[in-house]
Chain A
Amino acid sequence: MRRERAPLWIGVLAAIGAAFFILPLIGLVVRTPWGDALQSLTSADTLDALRLSLVASLSATAFALVLGVPLAWVYARVDFPGRSVVRALTTLPMVLPPVVGGIALLLAFGRRGLVGSMLASFGVSLPFTTAGVVMAETFVAMPFLVLTVEAGLRSMDRRYEDAARTLGAGRWTVFTRVTLPLIAPSVAAGAVLCWARALGEFGATITFAGNFPGVTQTMPLAVYLLLETNPQGSFVLSLILLLVSLVVLVGLRHRWLGSA
């Protein structure tokens, strides 16, 4: 990079901009009551929230992989009428206020929803259950995986697939033995992004699944509620979520932060 000195005012504004992000993080680390941390961590409610968060976010990531990779493949490879509309609709949760996503899920899968009323007649109820948490998280987080995998599919050299076909491989073999391994870095990055988003999900979850400790109360929900009753505990949980985010960021640094 060329050596360059910032003009004074640009430097000052840039420093304020950086401080805006860094100060809250410092605040979190400094004000966390480290002595009580272990105790807060091992309280039954906290452990429940932590366990539920892990189970739900990993399940959401698994669903996103099973459904999202094929969806990305179709977007990247199949030219069907209305593709851009469908693609826009499935990307919408990335920009949609999560609460709105939760209400939309209720209207579709709630007891009186479009599909929910049918499910109810089979005795299946999704809202306000752990399954509902997984659905809300999948709804909000899957687009990150789909977009990342689609980009990977579009940038891969498709002639590798041609080579596989000349060697007698059918479509499924080509997909599993050539396409998937070649886009594995994109799939991994998409899965990690998706998981991080699912782990932090709040709005859609609380709207669609509610806030029942041990059943639907995930870490972000617990953090928010503890702030009223036990601020110290909420600081500790926040710190845990911060560490997880940091690990994700470091893991993806080559992809998102260049060589810096």
Chain B
Amino acid sequence: MVGVGVSLSVEGARLSMGSLRLDMSFELEDGEVVALLGPNGAGKTTLLRAIAGLLALAGGRVVLDGRVLEEAGSRVYVPTEARSIGFVFQDYLLFPHMSVADNVAFGVRSRAVALEWLERLGLSRYADARPGTLSGGERQRVALARALAPGPRVLLLDEPLAALDVSTRAGVRRDLKAHLAAFRGVRLLVTHDPLEAVMLADRLIVMEEGSQVQSGTPVEVTERPRSRYVADLVGVNLVRGRASGGVVDVGGGASVAAAGADSGDVFAVVHPRAVSLHRARPEGSPRNVWEGHAIGIEMLGDRARVRIEGRVPMVAEVTPGALAELGLVEGSPVWVSFKATDVAVYPA
């Protein structure tokens, strides 16, 4: 059954490619822009290709507006060309032997409509140019026009900004956001860049090793990371353990004191700015105090991020001045402290 208002649903879609085992379920609604965020090799592109029917599913099914597009194990398979799915490929794949206008007209089979789209995306003057003569940002807009011109129900975008120079990316991203807003249909984009995901999408689906690890609004995901990958992207310390009586037992005999950690399987997040470093055992109120070794120091703008191996691995953010005063170098012993009230706890 497909719920009311759900436009595209991917139900237990499974397939294997090389070492990747894809297994994903999610639903996309009209009106929302969803980003699939994950590291390289997580299976994001594979998933997009499967939704478009370019890869066969080994299990599960894909349903669009209540119509089954593909169901593994049955004979139901709507071929790619009949799925009404627009696809913007990572390197755009504009046909090199056709003019820009012919590229856009390819799907819609009308030069007049193609010219309208070029006009809308500010590309009219390139109508007769070959794609090879365009800049990366222009090529991306042509690819978008080509995918949108036939009026698809679904728009899939694979790393739409990855092929661009860093200098042009911000401008193209702004334009892309506007064009995405103008499209009435299901919008799903793939990215490994958290900034891109947060700026373009209303909802994030975080993918790792072929599976979904988290889903939610950008704020929910960044405030309550549920995987090492997201925690590293956001730059916070993340541990998982069993909570009881204000303490999170993270295993191996180690624990973290956290206000509000009452019971159950939980995640605990500590911002690196909340972690203090000391040469000797500090006296005072912080409930979390232990000794470790600095194993990595890197400068990040006007701050130093210090990676500390100890009872629980932590990253601390201090000023370069503090670093000098502590005489901290890689391998130095150092004491770590942070308050139980600086630890955010939420159910896993």
A residues sitting closer than 8 Å to B (CB atoms) are 157, 159-160, 162-170, 177-178, 181-182, 184
Bound together, the chains give a CA A178 to CA B52 distance in angstroms of 19
Please name the 8 residue pairs, one residue from A and one from B, whose CB atoms are nearest each other, closest first: A167-B107, A166-B87, A165-B80, A181-B97, A163-B93, A168-B81, A165-B81, A162-B54
Chain A interface helix/strand/loop/mixed: helix
Tell me if B79 counts as interface (CB < 8 A to partner A): yes
Partner of A167, one of B49, B53, B79, B150: B150
Given A159-B93, A178-B95: A166 and B147 within 8 A (CB)?
Answer: yes
By a CB distance below 8 angstroms, the chain A residues around B81 are: 165-170
Once the chains bind, are A166 and B86 in contact (CB under 8 Å)? yes
Shortest Cβ gap from B152 to chain A (Å)? 8
Given A166-B52, A182-B97: A177 and B106 within 8 A (CB)?
Answer: yes
Tell me if B117 counts as interface (CB < 8 A to partner A): no
B4-60 contacts to A, CB under 8 A, are 49, 52-54
Tell me if B85 counts as interface (CB < 8 A to partner A): yes
Shortest Cβ gap from B213 to chain A (Å)? 28
Using CB atoms, name the residue of chain B closest to A162. Answer: B54
Once the chains bind, are A167 and B89 in contact (CB under 8 Å)? no
Shortest Cβ gap from A172 to chain B (Å)? 11
By a CB distance below 8 angstroms, the chain B residues around A182 are: 95-97
Shortest Cβ gap from B339 to chain A (Å)? 53
Bound together, the chains give a CA A160 to CA B107 distance in angstroms of 13
Using CB atoms, name the residue of chain B closest to A170. Answer: B81
Once the chains bind, are B150 and A163 in contact (CB under 8 Å)? no
By a CB distance below 8 angstroms, the chain A residues around B87 are: 162-163, 166
Tell me if B146 counts as interface (CB < 8 A to partner A): yes
Bound together, the chains give a CA A168 to CA B146 distance in angstroms of 11
Bound together, the chains give a CA A222 to CA B86 distance in angstroms of 61
Once the chains bind, are B80 and A166 in contact (CB under 8 Å)? yes
By a CB distance below 8 angstroms, the chain A residues around B150 are: 167-168
B residues sitting closer than 8 Å to A (CB atoms) are 49, 52-54, 79-83, 85-87, 89, 93, 95-98, 106-107, 146-147, 150
Once the chains bind, are A163 and B79 in contact (CB under 8 Å)? no
By a CB distance below 8 angstroms, the chain A residues around B85 are: 166
Once the chains bind, are A163 and B97 in contact (CB under 8 Å)? no
Once the chains bind, are A164 and B106 in contact (CB under 8 Å)? yes
By a CB distance below 8 angstroms, the chain B residues around A169 are: 81, 106-107
Shortest Cβ gap from A167 to chain B (Å)? 3
Bound together, the chains give a CA A181 to CA B96 distance in angstroms of 9
Mind listing 18 A-B residue pairs with CB under 8 Å? A159-B89, A159-B93, A162-B49, A162-B93, A163-B89, A163-B93, A165-B53, A165-B79, A165-B80, A166-B54, A166-B83, A166-B107, A169-B81, A169-B106, A169-B107, A181-B95, A181-B98, A182-B97
Shortest Cβ gap from A115 to chain B (Å)? 38
13 other A-B residue contacts (CB within 8 Å) besides A162-B54, A164-B106, A165-B53: A159-B93, A162-B49, A165-B80, A166-B81, A166-B86, A166-B87, A167-B106, A167-B107, A167-B146, A168-B82, A168-B150, A182-B96, A184-B97
Bound together, the chains give a CA A167 to CA B155 distance in angstroms of 12
Shortest Cβ gap from B219 to chain A (Å)? 33
Once the chains bind, are A162 and B80 in contact (CB under 8 Å)? yes
Bound together, the chains give a CA A28 to CA B337 distance in angstroms of 94
By a CB distance below 8 angstroms, the chain A residues around B86 are: 166
Bound together, the chains give a CA A162 to CA B89 distance in angstroms of 10
Shortest Cβ gap from B106 to chain A (Å)? 5
Using CB atoms, name the residue of chain B closest to A174. Answer: B81
Shortest Cβ gap from A169 to chain B (Å)? 6
By a CB distance below 8 angstroms, the chain B residues around A168 are: 81-82, 107, 150
Using CB atoms, name the residue of chain B closest to A182. Answer: B97
Bound together, the chains give a CA A221 to CA B305 distance in angstroms of 84
By a CB distance below 8 angstroms, the chain A residues around B52 are: 162, 166
By a CB distance below 8 angstroms, the chain B residues around A159 are: 89, 93
Bound together, the chains give a CA A101 to CA B106 distance in angstroms of 45
Question: Which of A163, A181, A184 has the most C-beta atoms of chain B within 10 angstroms of its own C-beta?
Answer: A163
Once the chains bind, are B95 and A160 in contact (CB under 8 Å)? yes
Bound together, the chains give a CA A170 to CA B83 distance in angstroms of 12
By a CB distance below 8 angstroms, the chain A residues around B82 are: 168
Using CB atoms, name the residue of chain A closest to B90. Answer: A159
Bound together, the chains give a CA A166 to CA B79 distance in angstroms of 9
By a CB distance below 8 angstroms, the chain A residues around B98 are: 181
Bound together, the chains give a CA A260 to CA B266 distance in angstroms of 69
Shortest Cβ gap from A140 to chain B (Å)? 32
Shortest Cβ gap from A72 to chain B (Å)? 19
Using CB atoms, name the residue of chain A closest to B93. Answer: A163
Question: Which of A159, A162, A181 has the most C-beta atoms of chain B within 10 angstroms of its own C-beta?
Answer: A162
By a CB distance below 8 angstroms, the chain B residues around A181 are: 95, 97-98
Bound together, the chains give a CA A170 to CA B150 distance in angstroms of 15
Bound together, the chains give a CA A166 to CA B87 distance in angstroms of 6
By a CB distance below 8 angstroms, the chain A residues around B89 are: 159, 162-163
Bound together, the chains give a CA A170 to CA B85 distance in angstroms of 14
Once the chains bind, are A165 and B54 in contact (CB under 8 Å)? yes
Bound together, the chains give a CA A228 to CA B27 distance in angstroms of 84
By a CB distance below 8 angstroms, the chain A residues around B54 are: 162, 165-166
By a CB distance below 8 angstroms, the chain A residues around B93 are: 157, 159-160, 162-163
Bound together, the chains give a CA A181 to CA B97 distance in angstroms of 7
Using CB atoms, name the residue of chain A closest to B80. Answer: A165
Bound together, the chains give a CA A164 to CA B81 distance in angstroms of 8
By a CB distance below 8 angstroms, the chain B residues around A157 are: 93
Bound together, the chains give a CA A162 to CA B156 distance in angstroms of 13
Shortest Cβ gap from A157 to chain B (Å)? 8
By a CB distance below 8 angstroms, the chain B residues around A178 are: 95
